[in-house]
């Protein structure tokens, strides 16, 4: 019997090829590093085959690519005016979204101030034009989308200025007709109209300066409205006109006495009135032609304007003189600055 022995056969195994597929696509022979160039969540399957034809069970890896930042939407609420302005404080809300990695945080800042983390709607307040910057960061670290919105707020009415012109007296009184001029300014939206009332009368639209000429104390109420309808708080300016001098009477009693070594007591009486601005001061003064005694002082008025006071004057005259004369003057000034006086005499015979 003949036995034939086959010669020994040695096979050395090893990796023949490595394969991969992306997102369930066709298998590809792996020859080196490859690139996945689109955003999204990708699945890479990979396996190898050895030289004996044994195929490895497929393995998988997840590749997440996100290079765009989140998007942020804003919404605002408040009392709307014209010209893109609000007439109130504004509530500002933000909503962020990210289609891939998700939103990590949302941030904002007002008027270039500190950066704040958004957690709930916030309020923008105060007259002016406020820039609000906002953006989000996603979980991949992207923050390349930023936004800015201008919030315009005007809650304040204009400011009106009043100028009075006329013959000025004292204590805020005028001695003749007064011209009233008005002007107004508004910081943001401009003045729509100026209004006024005289002595709480009919409301009048201001267009040109007007004149008040009636004697007495008047009030001019005035205010302005801007183009958004914001109304200025009404203010009042007094206009006081007095064109008449005070009325003064005086009488000295006795009017004449004989020369004596004893002084004479003189009673000075009269009345002082002013129909409009009222009496501010009343004084008396005595002019002695000899210059010996010239008393002066205030005069006290009663409620009805009457007054009475006494003076003690020397009842003397120089040798050779036919008489010695005293002039007693009462002088009144009203609050408008008008003055008037009355004089009576006492003669020493």
Tokens of 343: 């004089």
Q: Which pLDDT score, from 0 to 100, does residue 308 have?
A: 98
* Mean pLDDT along residues 257-264: 96
For 215-245, write each residue's pLDDT tens digit.
Answer: 999 999 999 999 999 999 999 999 999 999 9
Class of domain 247-348 (CATH, top level): mainly beta
pLDDT tens digits for range 86-128: 999 999 999 999 989 999 999 999 999 999 999 999 999 999 9
Residue 292: the pLDDT is: 87
Fold category of 71-153 in CATH: Immunoglobulin-like (2.60.40)
Q: Break the chain into its structural domains and give their ranges.
A: 15-65, 71-153, 159-241, 247-348
Mean pLDDT of 157-177: 98
Rg (Cα) of the chain, in Å, rounded?
Answer: 51
Average pLDDT over residues 146-153: 97
> What's the mean pLDDT in 123-139?
97
* Interval 4-18: pLDDT, tens: 333 444 446 899 999
Does residue 1 carry a pLDDT above 50?
A: no
pLDDT digits 0-9 by tens, 267-301? 999 999 999 999 999 999 999 999 888 999 999 99
Query: Pick from 77, 242, 253: which is nearest to 174 by CA?
Result: 242
The model's pLDDT over 18-75, given as tens digits with 9 standing for 90+, comes to 999 999 999 999 999 999 999 999 999 999 999 999 999 999 999 999 988 899 999 9
Q: Phi first, then psi: give them for residue 127, nearest 5 degrees.
A: -60, 140
Q: 183: how many CB neighbours lie within 10 A of its CB? A: 14
What is 159-241's CATH topology? Immunoglobulin-like (2.60.40)
Q: What is the DSSP letter of 133?
A: E
Distance CA 87, CA 329 (A): 66
> Which pLDDT score is estimated for 12?
60
């Amino acid at each position: 019997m003949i036995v034939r022995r086959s010669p020994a056969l040695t096979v050395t195994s090893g990796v023949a090829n490595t394969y991969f597929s992306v997102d369930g696509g066709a298998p590809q022979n792996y020859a080196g590093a490859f690139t996945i160039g689109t955003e999204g969540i990708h699945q890479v399957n990979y396996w190898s085959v050895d030289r004996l034809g044994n195929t490895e069970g497929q393995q998988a890896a997840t590749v997440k690519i996100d290079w765009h930042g989140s998007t942020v939407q804003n919404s605002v609420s408040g009392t709307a005016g014209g010209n893109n302005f609000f007439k109130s404080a504004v509530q500002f809300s933000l909503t962020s979204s990210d289609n891939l990695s998700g939103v990590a945080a949302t941030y904002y800042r007002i008027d270039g101030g500190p950066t704040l983390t958004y957690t709930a709607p916030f309020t923008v307040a105060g007259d002016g034009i406020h820039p609000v910057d906002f953006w989000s960061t996603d979980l991949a670290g992207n923050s390349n989308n930023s936004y800015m919105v201008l919030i315009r707020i005007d809650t304040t009415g204009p400011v009106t200025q009043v100028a009075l012109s006329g013959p000025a007296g004292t204590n805020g009184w005028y001695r003749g007709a007064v011209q009233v001029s008005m002007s107004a300014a508004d910081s943001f939206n401009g003045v729509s109209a100026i209004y006024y009332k005289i002595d709480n009368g009919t409301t009048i639209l201001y267009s040109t300066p007007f004149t008040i000429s009636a004697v007495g104390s008047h009030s001019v109420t005035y205010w302005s409205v801007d183009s958004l309808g914001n109304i200025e708080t009404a203010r009042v300016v007094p206009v006081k006109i007095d064109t008449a001098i005070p009325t003064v009477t005086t009488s000295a009693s006795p009017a004449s006495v004989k020369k004596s070594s004893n002084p004479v007591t003189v009673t000075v009486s009269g009345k002082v009135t002013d129909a409009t601005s009222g009496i501010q001061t009343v004084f008396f003064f005595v002019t002695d032609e000899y210059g010996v005694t010239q008393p002066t002082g205030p005069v006290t008025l009663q409620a009805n304007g009457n007054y009475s006071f006494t003076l003690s004057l020397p009842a003397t005259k120089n040798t050779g003189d036919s008489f010695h004369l005293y002039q007693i003057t009462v002088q009144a000034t009203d609050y408008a600055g008008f003055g008037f006086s009355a004089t009576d005499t006492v003669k020493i015979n």
